[in-house]
Chain A
Amino acid sequence: MLRKILKPFSKFFEFHARSHYRAERHSMALTIGIIAASAVGGFVEIAPLFSIDETVEAAPDMRVYTPLEQAGRDIYIREGCYACHSQMIRSLRDEVDRYGPYSLAVESQYDHPMLWGSKRTGPDLARVGEKFSDEWQVQHLVDPRSLVPESVMPQYAFLLDTPLETASLPGRLAALRTVGVPYSDEQIENAAEDARGQAYPDSDQAYAVEERYGEATNIRFFDGRRDRLTEMDALVAYLQIMGGLTDLPQETQFAEGE
C-alpha cells in the first residue's frame, strides 16, 4: 500500500536520489545545503516578529524597572527561580481564573531576557506582585515551609544577610539601554543611589526615585530592616512589581469580559 501511495512521487525520489548521489561527493555542497535548508524556518518565524507592529501591543503606561527591581530580577535569574516558576499566563480559562488576566507581549517588552519559563514546579508568578505582603514574601523566602508546609521550595535565608552590590547598577542600566530599554542619562547616573532610595522611604533619595520613576513606584523597607540594603530588598521589590508595569491587561480583558 505504501508503494501505491508513494508512486506519484517516484520520479521525484529518483531524481533526488540520483542528484544526491553526485552531490554527496562534495563536502561544500553538503555544507551549503545544510545551511540553506536550516535557515528557512528560523528566518520565516523570527524575522517578522521584529517588523510586524501588531506583535507587541502599544501600552502608553508601560514603565521600566527601577534599579532596585532590576537588581532583584538579576538575583531571580542568578538563583534559577525560572526553573520552577513561569511568568507567562496562557490564554486558557483555568489559568486566567487561577492567576489573573493572560499575559500580553508588551508586559515583557523590557525583559532582557524574558523569563516566561517552561515548567511550573511552583505557581506562575507573572501577577504575583502585591498579592502578598512584603513580610510574607520575606518570611517565605527565608523559610518557605513555615508558611506553606507542603512546599518544596529551597530556602533563601542568606539573601537577608547579603548586602546588595549597587556599584555595577549604572553599567547594568546602560547595557539595558543599549539593547533597547529607554533609561535616561539621569536614571543611569543615579542608579546606585536610587536603589538605596527605593528601600528607604521618606529620605531625600526616596523622593528622587519618585521623581525619576513616577509616583506609583513602591518605596518601602522591603526586607523590613532599616539599617541596610540587602539582596532581599531587591528580590522582594522585583516580586512586588511583577505584573504591575502596565495596566493594559486588566483594562483590555475586563472590557472583553463585559
Chain B
Amino acid sequence: MMERLTIAERQQAMLLSGGLALVGLALAIVGRGDAMGVHGWITMIFAGGLFFVVGNALYAPAPTDDRATSYYDDPTKVGILISLFWAVIAMGMGVWVAAQLAWPDLRFDAPWSSFGRIRPVHTSGVIFGFGGNALIATSYHVMQRTSRARLAGHVSPWFVLLGFNLFCIIAASGYLMGITQSKEYAEPEWYADIWLVVVWVVYFVLYMRTLARRNEPHIYVANWYYMAFILVVAVLHIVNNLAVPASFSAAKSYSAFSGVQDAMTQWWYGHNAVAFFLTAGFLGMLYYFLPKRAERPIYSYRLSILSFWGIVFFYIWAGSHHLHYTAVPQWVQTLGMTFSVMLLVPSWASAGNALMTLNGAWGKVRDDATLRFMMVAAVFYGLSTFEGSFMAIRAVNSLSHYTDWTVGHVHAGAMGWVALITFGSIYALVPILWRRESMYSWKLVEWHFWLALGGTVIYVFAMWNSGIIQGLMWRTYTESGTLAYSFTDSLVAMHPYYVARTIGGAFFLTGAIIGAFNVIMTIRKVHEQTPELDYPTKSEAGEPAVPAAE
C-alpha cells in the first residue's frame, strides 16, 4: 500500500504519527496513576506502530504513474475490513450483555465485566466502530465516484480513518476501566473528545477539497447526506461534550450543564446522533449503492430534495420526546412530540423513494441477496421511523418509556436498517474495490441475509412483548386501588424475552461472522477482474457517475 504514497507523503505520515506518539507519551507521564495514563500508552503504541510501519517502507519505490487517473481506494479497503472487525467484536459484546440480563452470573467476577461497563462497549462499538468506519470508508468511495475525481490528499484519508479508530479504541478500553461521562452515546472523556474534533475537522476539509476537484457540475444527493452527517455531528459533539476536567492529569470531568439543561442537551445530542450518524450517513450509502446495484435511476429527484431538507430541519427538534412527563418544561416536550410526528413525512419520502427506485428491478431483488439487504433495510427504515414517530406521542411514550420497547425500537433501526444497508453496501463494494469477479460465495451471502433478518425479527418481537408487558405491569392497579405488581414481578416476567433476545442477537452475530469470512475469502481466493470505467473521467460520453434521474 505504501507504493502509492510519494516519499514526501511518507515523511509527512511519519511526522504526524511521531508527533502523536509523543502526545501519547506526554499523556502517559502526566496521567500516571490514573486511567488516562493507560490511554497515553495506548496512543503511544498505536502511533508508534504506525511510525515504524511507514518508516520501514520510507525508501521503497515511489509511484511513477499519474495518480490522478485512478481512484485512491486503499483507505476504503482498510476501512471496510476494520468495520467488519468492529462488527464482530461489538455484536459479540451485545450478545454477552444480553445474556447477562438473562443469566446475571454469566461474567467473571471482575469489575470490568459488569453490565454497566460493557454495555457502552457494545453501543459505541456498533455505532462508532462498525457504523462509523463503514461510513468513512463508503464516503471515500462515493465522494470519488460521484465526483469523478481522486481523493484530495493521500495522508489525510489515513489520518481520518486511523485517528477515528484510535478514538474508538480509547473509548472502548476506557469503559472497561470505568472512564465514562455517563452521557449516552457520548461517553468518552474530554481528551478523547478533543481528539475526535481534530479528526472530524480534517474529515470535513478532505470532503470539501475532494468535491472541489469534481468533474461533475452537480453534487450528487448521497454527498449531501454525508456532508450533513459530518457537519451536524461536529456541532452536536462539541456542544454536548462541553465539560470542565477535575484535573488535567486525570480523566474525570464534569459536564458544563446540569439537570434540565443537561438533559435537554444530552437528548438533543442523543436523538440527533440517531439522525445524523445513524440515518443521514447511511442514507448517503443507500442513495448511492441501491441505485447502482439495481442499475436503476433514483425514482424522484424532487423527493430526495424534500426528504433531505425535511430530515435536516425536523430531526433536530425531536430530541425532547425522550423527556416526556419529566421535569423538562411542557412546551419543550410538546415541540419534540410535534416535530417527531412531522418527521414521518421526510422519512417515508426517503424510504419510498428507495423502494420505488426498485420498480422494474424486483427480479433482481429476488435473485440477488446483496440488493435484498438494501431493500429490506429501506423497509426497516420505513418501519422504525413510523414506530419512532408513534412512540414520540406523549400518551404512547408514557407506556413505552423506560421499557424494553425502546430497546427494541433502537434495534429495529440499528439491526434492520443501519446494519443491513451496511452489509448490502459492503457486498456490493468489495468485488469492485479488490477488483474481483464476484463475492467468494453467494450462498454465504444468502445465509447471512436470512440469519440477519431472522435475528432482527426475533429480537424486535421479543422486545416488543417484554416492553409492553413491562409497561402494562407497572401501571396495573388492583380493584382496591393499589399497584398490582411489584417491580420484581415485572422483572421475572421479562426472563423468557431476555433469553429470546439473546438468541436473536446470536443469529445476527453469526451472520456478521459469516459476512466477514466471506469478505476475507473473496480477497484471498477469487479471480481478479478489473471493472470497466472505474477511474476518473471527464468524458460525458462515458458511464454516468450515477444512473441519472429522468
Contact = CB atoms under 8 A, between A and B. Distances in A.
Contacts of A210: none
Given A77-B181, A114-B262, A119-B406, 6 more contacts: A24-B219, A35-B231, A41-B317, A42-B239, A55-B329, A120-B402
B264 A49 contact: yes
A76 B281 CA distance: 34
A239 interface: no
B228 A175 contact: no
Contacts of B62: none
8 contacts: A45-B268, A46-B261, A110-B258, A111-B258, A117-B402, A155-B109, A172-B246, A175-B244
A150 B316 CA distance: 41
Contacts of A121: 101, 491
Nearest to B398: A92
Given A118-B402, A119-B406, A34 B104 contact: no
B227 interface: yes
Interface of A: 13, 16-17, 20-21, 24-25, 27, 30-31, 33-35, 37-42, 44-46, 49-50, 52, 54-56, 74, 77-84, 86, 88, 90-95, 97-98, 102-124, 144-145, 148, 150-158, 168, 171-172, 174-176, 178-181
Contact of B104 (A37, A154, A180): A154
Contact of A112 (B180, B257, B332): B257
A145 B208 CA distance: 56
A97 B323 CA distance: 20
Nearest to B329: A55
A37 B332 contact: no
B114 A156 contact: yes
A78 B253 CA distance: 12
Nearest to A154: B114
B403 interface: yes
Contacts of B125: none
Nearest to B248: A171
Nearest to A123: B487
Given A112-B254, A119-B407, A83 B116 contact: yes
Nearest to B491: A150
Contacts of B228: 34, 38
3 smallest beta-carbon distances between A and B, as pairs = A80-B116, A41-B316, A90-B325
Contacts of B179: 78
A152 B212 contact: no
A55 B491 CA distance: 35
Given A77-B180, A114-B263, A35 B235 contact: yes
B336 interface: yes
Nearest to B326: A88
Interface string B190-220: 0000000000000000001001100001110
Interface string B305-340: 110010011111111101111111100100110010
Contact of B259 (A105, A150, A154, A171): A105
B77 interface: no
Contact of A78 (B102, B180, B301): B180
Chain B interface size range: 35 or more
A115 B327 CA distance: 13
Nearest to A73: B182
Given A38-B232, A114-B263, A27 B247 contact: no
Contacts of B119: 80, 83
B106 to A, nearest CB: 10
B316 A38 contact: yes
B91 to A, nearest CB: 18
B324 to A, nearest CB: 7
Contacts of A79: 111, 114, 116-117, 178
Contacts of B292: none
B395 to A, nearest CB: 11
A20 B306 CA distance: 10
A126 B62 CA distance: 64
B316 A154 contact: no
B449 to A, nearest CB: 30
A168 B324 contact: no
B115 A80 contact: yes
A244 B177 CA distance: 30
Contacts of A107: 259, 327
B88 to A, nearest CB: 23
A80 B317 contact: no
Contacts of A176: 254
B258 A83 contact: no
A38 B310 CA distance: 10
Given A24-B219, A30-B219, A94-B477, A42 B247 contact: no
B488 interface: yes
B528 interface: no
Contacts of B339: 41
A90 B402 CA distance: 11
Given A17-B305, A46-B264, A114 B258 contact: yes
Contacts of A109: 258-259
Nearest to B107: A154
A49 B332 contact: yes
Given A34-B228, A55-B329, A105-B260, A25 B182 contact: no
A113 B401 CA distance: 21
B265 interface: yes
Nearest to A178: B244
Nearest to A153: B104
A34 B232 contact: yes
Nearest to A124: B402
B4 interface: no
B258 A152 contact: no
